[in-house]
Structure 1
Amino acid sequence: MNADSRKGELADLKAQLRQLAGSRQPGVEDIKRELYKKVISYMTIGIDVSSLFSEMVMCSATSDLVLKKMCYLYVGNYARGHPDLALLTINFLQKDCHDDDPMIRGLALRSLCSLRVKNLVEYLIGPLRSGLKDANGYVRTVAAMGVLKLYHIAPSQCTDNEFPAMLRALLLNDPDAQVVANCLCALQEIYTAEVNVSPETAARDREHLLSKPVIYSLLNRIKDFTEWAQCLVLDMVSKYVPSDSDESFDMMNILEDRLQHTNSAVVLAAIKVFLHLTISMADIHQQVYERIKAPLLTLVNSGSAEQTYAVLSHLHLLVLRAPVLFSNDYKHFYCRYSDPTYVKKLKLEMLTAVANETNTYEIVTELSEYAANVDVAIARESIRAVGKIALQQYDVNAIVDRLLQFLEMEKDYVTAETLVLVKDLLRKYPQWSHDCIAVVGSVSSKTVTEPKAKSALVWMLGEYAYDMPDAPYILEGFIENWIEEDSAQVRLELLTAVTKIFFKRPPESIKMLGAALSAGLADAHQDVHDRALLYYRLLQQGVEVAERVVNPAKQAVSVFADTQSSEIKDRIFDEFNSLSVVYQQPSYMFLDKEVRGPIELTEDSGILPLGPTIADDVLPSQLVDATDNDLLLSASDKEESVAAVSNGSHYSGPDLAGFESSSAPPRSTSSPSSTSQVTSTSAAAATSLLDFEDLLGLNTYEVSTPALFSLKLKTKPSLVAQAFQRKWGQLAVALTLDHTLSSPASLPTPQPLIRHMQSNLVEVMASGGKAPTFKFFFYAQAADSPSSSGFFLVELIVNTSTGFSQAKIKADDASLAPAFQELFLAILSSFGSN
């Protein structure tokens, strides 16, 4: 529909509605219905029909409930955005609040409270007060939620008119269970978000909800509530602290039948109450585990896959806390063919958790079947599960045989996972080295392509060189393909393995060691270069010295580090029946902005190509919160995502023929050329080390604005993502800026530029993209401006292959934009110059 025809149709609708406004002819209600349906359909698909507001209001004088509902829907949609039009609705909504039909009274009151216009709050007070005292339960239900809406618009007027006190009275005395539930919901939210009250008052209000009369009143009526209301009540009961054990038993007796409920949310909420009430009674707490096991297992085997996963997540949490109690129920965690991958993966974790001396054989047999699964992800997880069980010291003999059989399956991903696990087993059970190495030695290195598997194979070749005759020659093949090896992790392991073999079998490996150190010193990866340099200098000190550092006597690993601390697990348990259990993280880790870290743009954010095709009004509309893991990664993890680029320089291999060894000639000094190379390398390493520390975020930045500019920036500007997006959509582009970076190679990832800008008081709101194109949204604030104004917003797009960058600047105060442009250009120009 084009604009002209749309305007014509809206004019036609307006004329028809105006003509029918005062008509009382038979059948006019049906005509109004059709017109209303057309208006609502236009509104639904995004066409602006606010011009019909007056006519829609005039036609609302009817007893037809369907027409009333459509009119209220229309009014609620446009009233908030058009406060002047909302005033037209007050009279007819107030009139409908006193209608004889309780349904119309309730709908009118709900619409009146949904206007959300602060200037019209005074018109809500009377209808709300009447609604809370209405004889009909539906009207009181609507009025209870209306109080909450009023509180969000005008908290002081809500409390001054004693609406919370009226809700508390209804909470204890109202005969309608839905009214009680709505009162509870409203009071919980009001007391949680209380403003302009003392901490003592807020604490007293919250304690009132957790008082014994309120809790017992709700528990005695729990069967009358809807499932949603039962979950609400049970969640509040879980926060109640009984006075003694008898009171705890009374509450559990009341809630016993809730464990048999068909709704999984009610069952989980009731379980949370049982666990909370018995947390300080060890014996009873264990009996509760036995009692809740059957309801949970029933829910696992019924319902949708999503419900199964949610229930399994909670069951998994309980299994980790008390695996012995679930050890006989391991067959409930066997994977079904129809289970989705995420459910299968969780079941494998549970099978690993419940494994013990009595059921290990059956569980490992089942997991071995999954290793041949067509789903590669599940096959990998099943192999890892077998390895985890072996590391728990349960029937290791049989499990090692199973793992070694996996190597005979001749599937790349099976071989890769098995090699990683065999390496861990050998670290914990060195006595199995003879059997394992005999099988590992038959694995062709050409079939191992995954970095972790290569690292594991290389480690075993270096650690057990005595038991593997071909170990030096296999490693020699890896050294020859050094340049083709993309993984820094593998190259690091190669350096260590070759050095270890040199200590054990020097005649066969001395040339290989020289080649490895030479390649390592020329490697572009900082960690690889530094390790090669370390080994070279250690060898200069003597073979015995180097061997004590690189290959000391090792003890078997007793316990591998757990991925989660006990404190984290306890916090997740305290948040039972919440997303924390599903995410396996405490809520603060995915709700707290400071923990989540800075915002980044996802790959779907629409990074635009550089050039004249860039749109003028590109909103940062896909800002998403993501944890900034960059500072938590090791250097090798970070650099693996960036392809190593050779700088064209090559080091000649150190002369290792004269190093002291039990079977080598006496040690001679290194050649002058080698010494000069090492000296220059040390200087380069020192310079690179500074950059390396900077990449890890270890340096403290001297935060300052360039002193030569008149515009000063605020040290810590505060701007949330929603406000940034709103300002970006409202403000026009003040200036544009084109610039060529002096050192685009120093921008392998967005992080270096982000740190540089932050060190100059320009904060990042979002960043993202893939090399060579990165996109940033920056913001800064004038030093002398109020907290909510004086902001400068910048969209910067950088092409690292050409160094070309393009920026669009928007400002609250357009007159300051030129000064900020000059300052921003100076900051951007200084990037990479140090």
Structure 2
Amino acid sequence: MPPAASQRASSTSSPSGKGELAELKTQLRQLAGSRAPGVEDVKRELYKKVISYMTIGIDVSPLFSEMVMCSATSDVVLKKMCYLYVGNYARVHPDLALLTINFLQKDCQDEYPMIRGLALRSLCSLRVQNLVEYLVGPLRSGLKDVHGYVRTVAVLGVLKLYHIAPIACTDNDFPAMLKQLMLHDGDPQVMANCLCALQEILTQEGSNIEEAGLDKDFFTRKPIIYHFLNRIKDFNEWAQCLVLELVAKYVPEDPNETFDIMNLLEDRLQHANSAVVLATIKVFLNLTMSMADVHQQVYERIKAPLMTLVSSGSAEQSYAVLCHLHLLVMRAPILFSSDYKHFYCRYSDPSYIKKLKLEMLTAVANENNTYEIVTELSEYAANVDVAIARESIRAVGKIALQQYDVNAIVDRLLQFLEMEKDYVTAETLVLVKDLLRKYPQWSQDCIAVVGNVSSKHVQESKAKVALLWMLGEYALDMPDAPYVLEGFVESWTDEDSPEVRLELLTAVAKCFFRRAPETQRILGEALAAALADAHQDVHDRGLFYYRLLQHGVESAERVINPPKQAVSVFADMQNSEIKDRIFDEFNTLAVVYQQPSYMFLDKEYRGPFEFSDDASTNASATESSETMLAGQRVDASDNDLLLSASEKEYTKGVVATNGSSSYVAPSSSTMDGMGVLAAPTQTSFPAVGFAIDDLLGLSLHTTPPEPAPAPPPLVLNAKPVLNPAAFQQKWRQLPVASTQEYTLTPQAVANLTGPQALLRHMQAQLIHCIASGGQAPNFKFFFFAQKSDASAGLGYFLVECIVNVTARKCTSNYKTDESNMLESFASIFQSAILKFGS
């Protein structure tokens, strides 16, 4: 391609450098005062090009004066594009915004109402503090304009002015003017905008507009409520929702007034807009809260509109309506029990709607419809969507738990075990366990089927726990119970879940009390494995059982396997107070989230900490550590950046094992001063324990296990990639694996006048800094490194390093997902720190 052609191609793609911008500026300047035929079309094309450049992020602010000069036209399309351009650059370049005042004020007096309204909206959207004085006159004229569109824009302009300069807004009596328009204007959209603007002004802290006759209770007074109710049919859907929200807060003087309002709003229940229908339902529910009989009739009346909305519209709308219907079903299931077929899942329903319908089917099940509902749910168990299949099985189990005559339901539940699908078997075993806890009389039928389930087909931890509970509790009814437990004990070291190991230990002990000869050896092996287990809870329970057996088998049985009573009611995940709070916030996101608003709005309920803006700005996964340091310095005492491990998760000398616990069993078989036993030895127990050791086959002179092979030498990745967000997530998830404290050399302290020297030194050792901060004498650093042969997202070592230069102390808290290499990395890190300054 010739050079000239290549230059033309590059200049037309984007205004790189001065060439394209200069050309656009020249063309716009030539067209500014032109009245030639067709000039408007040329302007449109140039404006479109400028707007397209602005949209993709190219700075076209040098064309500001030319764009303003070309705005002297009656073409509404050109006006709109010019106003869009001006509004975009006015906040970035407030000095340029002064150039727009004259032509915007002139357009506010144009003969066409559309141009007047657009100009006034653009003038109020500049939101520049220095231009407030220029807004007062156009706004005052706009509120008195003869055209409704201009008044509508002016009302929202008053609200924008209030956010910029509240004092200027109230001093010019704009709230009082809005009040007059709201009560006397003939345009319903103007009234609605006045209502919205005044409500927002009243909700602002420190709003002082009482001189205008406005206070917090103004909108819940009877004349105001009836003023809007009588004109509600003239409003659009958005304005109707505003009015209905007001009515929902109104307290009628007597029941007759309640019925009058409900009769007036009766036709709103047939509205096509779901928001209007839900807002009307909220009014009906709130007005009749103290009238029990009428409140129940309201439930009957609102069923049909809600069912209609669920079956029509988009999936998202159906879900939102279904959430509100679910809330009502949970409060009054008997009223919806005859409509259970409306909650059957359709093939085309998304999974989130199916899940909600399953919960509703569970809630409305009673003696009359249980068989039909369980039959339908049983079909879902074979659904290709595994999550829905699981939910359907849980729904059958919940129905079985809440019904007294569960014979047919139990048969359906047990048939799921014949499907030979791992996830079906897992969910069924959990539900059978809960069923036996509540209805022990069904043990004979259930255990006969559960006994035929092969333990090899049970893979999920919760299913193993359920199966082990039944093996221990009903060992006499299951002939193969000791031998199945023996298989679990033999694979003790292969079991990752501590919950399964805990339940296995208990199940073996229960089986021993019922069938001692067959289980004696298994119990000994289980106790030995538990006492050597690295998980603290498993170790402690094994030690507890061992000491109970030392005291006597009868005493141990009274503690481990006492007589049990049937469970009457299972704990509900959500208490009644929370449900009432959600119901009080009907027709809000609280119903969709199934949480009161304070749980997702208040900061104290939002969950764990997050990185501050300073620590996460301008950082990307491909940046080097040296680049990240610029702009990422943080205050070492800022707990919002990262929680101090020394304060929150400090556990001295602890190394996590398998990521499940921070406890490591002692290597030597000794008992400390507190009586904590690591493993049974001949000198660890009094003589009374020898019989138990012999009985259970606990060898007191076992051959020590071969030492584990030494891990390969640790080699660090020279260019690890870890952005602040990923660092934060890993830091929050991983436990503190180890803590070290050592003394710095005088040379290191002398060089630590600022953090940069240390960061460069550590980076040379392939240990990179993600954030740092503090002032002398205290500094805080967050380092990370990665194992060279680790796969993506793994093999990271995270360190919180706290340095006190006065005491010459350095405390390091380590977290890692490579626990077997932690000792090697800690040695590398300590060596790097101690070499600093040498």
**What TM-score does the superposition give when structure 1 sets the normalisation length?**
0.79
Q: Which residue of 2 aligns with 1:73?
A: 84
Equivalent residues of 1:610, 1:799 under 8 A apart: no
Aligned partner (choices 244, 258, 269) of residue 259 of structure 1: 269
Q: 1:619 to 1:106 in 2, by over 3 A?
A: farther
Q: Which residue of 2 aligns with 1:160?
A: 171
Aligned partner (choices 383, 396, 421) of residue 411 of structure 1: 421
Q: CA deviation at 1:275?
A: 0.4
Q: Which residue of 2 aligns with 1:395?
A: 405
Q: Which residue of 2 aligns with 1:125?
A: 136
Structure 1 counterpart SS, 2:759? strand
Q: CA deviation at 1:740?
A: 7.6
Equivalent residues of 1:128, 1:146 under 8 A apart: yes
Structure 2 counterpart SS, 1:829? strand
Q: 1:49 to 1:213 in 2, by over 3 A?
A: same
Q: CA deviation at 1:774?
A: 12
Q: Which residue of 2 aligns with 1:26?
A: 37
Q: Which residue of 2 aligns with 1:471?
A: 481
Q: 1:822 to 1:227 in 2, by over 3 A?
A: farther
Q: Which residue of 2 aligns with 1:281?
A: 291
Q: Which residue of 2 aligns with 1:60?
A: 71
Q: Which residue of 1 aligns with 2:759?
A: 737
Structure 2 counterpart SS, 1:286? helix
> Higher mean Cα deviation, 63-72 or 541-550?
541-550
Q: Hey, what's the Cα distance between the residues in 2 that align with 1:193 and 1:794?
A: 41
Q: 1:261 to 1:196 in 2, by over 3 A?
A: closer
Amino acid at match of 2:528: S
Q: CA deviation at 1:544?
A: 2.1
Deviation per CA, 1:703-724, whole angstroms, max 9, x where unpaired? xxx9x9xx9xxxxxxxxxxxxx
Q: 1:208 to 1:494 in 2, by over 3 A?
A: same
Q: Which residue of 2 aligns with 1:182?
A: 193
**What TM-score does the superposition give when structure 2 sets the normalisation length?**
0.78
Deviation per CA, 1:453-503, whole angstroms, max 9, x where unpaired? 011001110111111111111011111111111111111111111111121
Aligned partner (choices 115, 135, 139) of residue 104 of structure 1: 115
Q: Does 1:829 align with 2:812?
A: yes
Equivalent residues of 2:139, 2:158 under 8 A apart: yes
Q: CA deviation at 1:668?
A: 12
Q: Hey, what's the Cα distance between the residues in 2 that align with 1:305 and 1:632?
A: 44
Q: Hey, what's the Cα distance between the residues in 2 that align with 1:792 and 1:218?
A: 62
> Percentage identity across aligned positions?
69
Q: 1:516 to 1:204 in 2, by over 3 A?
A: farther
Q: 1:525 to 1:45 in 2, by over 3 A?
A: same
Q: Which residue of 1 aligns with 2:520?
A: 510
Equivalent residues of 2:625, 2:770 under 8 A apart: no
Q: CA deviation at 1:194?
A: 3.4
Please give the residue correspondences for 1:404-443 in structure 2 after superposition, counting only pairs within 5 Å: 404-443=414-453
Amino acid at match of 1:323: P
Q: CA deviation at 1:304?
A: 1.0
Q: Hey, what's the Cα distance between the residues in 2 that align with 1:572 and 1:209?
A: 24
Q: 1:262 to 1:826 in 2, by over 3 A?
A: farther
Q: Which residue of 1 aligns with 2:101?
A: 90
Deviation per CA, 1:410-450, whole angstroms, max 9, x where unpaired? 11111110000000000000111111111000000000000
Amino acid at match of 1:829: S
Q: 1:830 to 1:580 in 2, by over 3 A?
A: closer
Structure 2 counterpart SS, 1:121? helix
Amino acid at match of 1:330: Y
Please give the residue correspondences for 1:222-621 in structure 2 after superposition, counting only pairs within 5 Å: 222-600=232-610, 608=621
Q: 1:85 to 1:563 in 2, by over 3 A?
A: same
Equivalent residues of 2:520, 2:696 under 8 A apart: no
Deviation per CA, 1:246-282, whole angstroms, max 9, x where unpaired? 2111111111000000111110011001101101111
Equivalent residues of 1:486, 1:643 under 8 A apart: no
Equivalent residues of 1:423, 1:456 under 8 A apart: yes
Q: CA deviation at 1:654?
A: 7.2
Q: 1:830 to 1:38 in 2, by over 3 A?
A: closer
Q: CA deviation at 1:318?
A: 0.2
The number of residues matched between the two structures is 725
Deviation per CA, 1:565-605, whole angstroms, max 9, x where unpaired? 00000000001011111111001111111111333479x99
Q: Hey, what's the Cα distance between the residues in 2 that align with 1:825 and 1:525?
A: 36
Q: 1:131 to 1:204 in 2, by over 3 A?
A: closer
Q: Hey, what's the Cα distance between the residues in 1 that align with 2:41 and 2:519?
A: 95
Q: 1:594 to 1:56 in 2, by over 3 A?
A: same
Q: 1:33 to 1:796 in 2, by over 3 A?
A: farther
Equivalent residues of 2:693, 2:699 under 8 A apart: no
Q: Hey, what's the Cα distance between the residues in 2 that align with 1:695 and 1:347?
A: 34
Q: Hey, what's the Cα distance between the residues in 2 that align with 1:484 and 1:281?
A: 62
> Higher mean Cα deviation, 663-672 or 64-73?
663-672
Q: Hey, what's the Cα distance between the residues in 2 that align with 1:304 and 1:807?
A: 50
Q: CA deviation at 1:649?
A: 4.3
Q: Does 1:138 align with 2:121?
A: no
Q: Hey, what's the Cα distance between the residues in 2 that align with 1:329 and 1:774?
A: 63
Q: Does 1:170 align with 2:181?
A: yes
Amino acid at match of 2:29: R
Q: Hey, what's the Cα distance between the residues in 1 that align with 2:148 and 2:265?
A: 26
Q: Hey, what's the Cα distance between the residues in 2 that align with 1:12 and 1:237?
A: 59
Structure 2 counterpart SS, 1:11? helix
Structure 1 counterpart SS, 2:479? coil
Equivalent residues of 1:736, 1:807 under 8 A apart: no
Please give the residue correspondences for 1:623-772 in structure 2 after superposition, counting only pairs within 5 Å: 642=660, 649=667, 737=759
Q: CA deviation at 1:395?
A: 2.9
Q: Which residue of 2 aligns with 1:788?
A: none
Deviation per CA, 1:89-148, whole angstroms, max 9, x where unpaired? 111111111111111110011000000111111111111111111111001100111111
Amino acid at match of 2:314: S
> Higher mean Cα deviation, 257-266 or 155-164?
155-164
Structure 2 counterpart SS, 1:205? coil
Q: Hey, what's the Cα distance between the residues in 2 that align with 1:458 and 1:332?
A: 39
RMSD: 4.3
Equivalent residues of 1:112, 1:124 under 8 A apart: yes
Q: CA deviation at 1:644?
A: 9.4
Q: 1:360 to 1:101 in 2, by over 3 A?
A: same
Q: CA deviation at 1:806?
A: 8.3
Gaps of 5+ in 2: 1-9, 634-639, 669-677, 703-731, 736-743, 788-793, 816-825, 827-838
